[in-house]
Structure 1
Amino acid sequence: MKEIWAQWDDEVKRLFYCHYGDLPYLLDVKIDESLFRALVQYWNSAYSCFTFERVDLVPTIEEYTTLIRCTKIQVDRIYSKAANNLAFSKKLMNITGMSEQWVTARIKQKGDCRCIPWRHLRDLILAHPDMKKRVDVLALSIYGLVIFPKALGHIDEAVFDLFDRLSKETTPVPVILAETFRSLNACRRVGEGRFIGCAQLLLSWFHSHFLRVEKVSYHVFSKNYSPLKELAATPRRDDITEEN
């Protein structure tokens, strides 16, 4: 995804930012595994927050919305799955603009869920004649592989439902937070386990509490300021152990 993003010109990137915010910067966030494992140990499942001695800290809707920074999001329109919605294949057709035959041939079953392999979407991004569809499919891929990484190398059916509703300017932030809390609770309960949530966004949120914008104190109030961009570009030490 990073290679595809790097090949796009500024006009296409602006189109992406306009519709989906600062999601591409998540691709540049390096996962510090030692820090992440240590952070999980401070998750308080009883109160759904991080507890550092006497200090409680938890990601909020406002903080995650600021990090994603998407002007299309309406914070009072929260995503919820519709009782009667389109079939998976129909949603995939709407998002990709491809035929039913193309979609049906690429849907796979992974465990208890249906999904589509990333390699098919990658090929579609590289070859699709409609640039807006290329943008949509890359955004879908970031949601499926980075924000909700359930099936490795695949985009889960549930992500398509959420993504389909983003066109109606609903906010995905509460769902992202809910999955983050659920995953943290699961990791704490079993002691070890895979975190099925957006680790990049969680670590960015954690680092944001220590971020200092040098020289220009009012920088954070600028419309063009991207905290996620600055966090992704900030050098981090990678030689610190989990214990330290």
Structure 2
Amino acid sequence: MEKRFFDKVEDNATVRIWAETTQQEKGDSLTEGYVSELWDFTRVIVTQNNLQEIKEIWGQWDDEIKWLFYCHYSDLPYLLDVKIDERLFRALVQYWNSAYNCFIFGKVDLVPTIEEYTALIRCPKIQVDRIYSKAVNDPAFSKRNLRDLILVHLDIKKRIDVFALSIHGLVIFPKALGHIDEVVSDLFDRLSKRTTPISAILAETFRSLNACRRAGEGRFIGCAQLLLSWFHSHF
């Protein structure tokens, strides 16, 4: 039922081959003679939320509840077990080019795509043409309230709803440590309408990488787990 990290990497192989073939056919997107004006070294911070509490909650659930979760929200819980290698992540950031929104490894430029991230998350209910977008910064609320709701709510479906919201707010969109932005709850509400969150995940990933690289420092607040899963699928 559950698929671990390296299973996800293998699942993404077909999409990865397609992406690399397309890149080779289309050619390099960089302008001839382009010289990067970014900082030579970026001091990126990859501080993560403490996920031990929700990992313990997931571990306590039986297969029936977990299956109900998979049916509604795909295999998001595997992200809880993706260990962030901070040294690898910091090294990866050095290859990000903000001008073209892609990683440049020598003569090869790579970037996570909607297709690849969809393959990594594997959510059969989303529709790729129903894209979420909301440019609002609302107040945040504490993850402690969510944990209490998960533990005491009598409705099992409501429990998994709040659990999924916790993963979205603490792992996928970890903007404020220990808190979940209300904008995430708005996105979460759209998921029931089969709206895909992939474009929003990629947009936040690119925005955070660009902010860190241009400033030469900063905290990465995108989904580091998905980005590293994508990276391992290529290398």
Letter of the aligned partner of 1:128 in structure 2? H
CA distance in 2, matches of 1:58, 1:115: 30
The C-alpha deviation readout for 1:196-226, integer Å capped at 9, x for no partner, is 100000000000113xxxxxxxxxxxxxxxx
Secondary structure of 2:212's counterpart equals helix
Letter of the aligned partner of 1:45 in structure 2? S
The C-alpha deviation readout for 1:185-206, integer Å capped at 9, x for no partner, is 0110111110010000000000
Letter of the aligned partner of 2:154 in structure 1? P
Q: Give the corresponding residue for 2:39.
A: none
The C-alpha deviation readout for 1:50-71, integer Å capped at 9, x for no partner, is 0001000000000000000011
Q: Call closer, same or farther: CA 1:72–1:46 in 2, change over 3 Å.
A: same
2:187 to 162, 165, 177: 162
1:185 to 210, 215, 219: 210
Q: Give the corresponding residue for 1:138.
A: 163
TM-score by length of 1: 0.73
Letter of the aligned partner of 2:57 in structure 1? I
CA distance in 1, matches of 2:135, 2:94: 36
1:8 to 61, 64, 70: 61
The C-alpha deviation readout for 1:21-76, integer Å capped at 9, x for no partner, is 11100000000000000000000111100000100000000000000001111111
1:23 to 70, 76, 84: 76
Say if 2:96 is the partner of 1:54. Answer: no
Secondary structure of 2:217's counterpart equals coil
Letter of the aligned partner of 2:180 in structure 1? I
The C-alpha deviation readout for 1:119-173, integer Å capped at 9, x for no partner, is 1110110010000000000000000000110111111011011001000001000
1:33 to 54, 62, 86: 86
Q: Give the corresponding residue for 2:127.
A: 74
CA distance in 2, matches of 1:204, 1:144: 19
Q: Give the corresponding residue for 1:153.
A: 178
Letter of the aligned partner of 1:180 in structure 2? T
Secondary structure of 1:193's counterpart equals strand
CA distance in 1, matches of 2:101, 2:176: 25
Letter of the aligned partner of 1:132 in structure 2? K
Task: Name stretches of at least 5 consecutive residues in structure 1 with no aligned partner.
Answer: 84-111, 211-244
Q: Call closer, same or farther: CA 1:169–1:114 in 2, change over 3 Å.
A: same
CA distance in 1, matches of 2:222, 2:119: 18
The C-alpha deviation readout for 1:97-117, integer Å capped at 9, x for no partner, is xxxxxxxxxxxxxxx741110
Task: List structure 1 segments (4+ residues) > 4 angstroms apart after TM superposition.
Answer: none
Q: Give the corresponding residue for 1:224.
A: none
Aligned-residue RMSD, C-alpha? 1.4
Number of paired residues? 182
Letter of the aligned partner of 1:37 in structure 2? R
Letter of the aligned partner of 1:80 in structure 2? S
Higher relative contact order (CA 8 A, sep 6+): 2
Identity of aligned residues (%): 81
Task: Name stretches of at least 5 consecutive residues in structure 2 with no aligned partner.
Answer: 1-53
CA distance in 2, matches of 1:113, 1:164: 15
How much does 1:80 deviate?
2.5
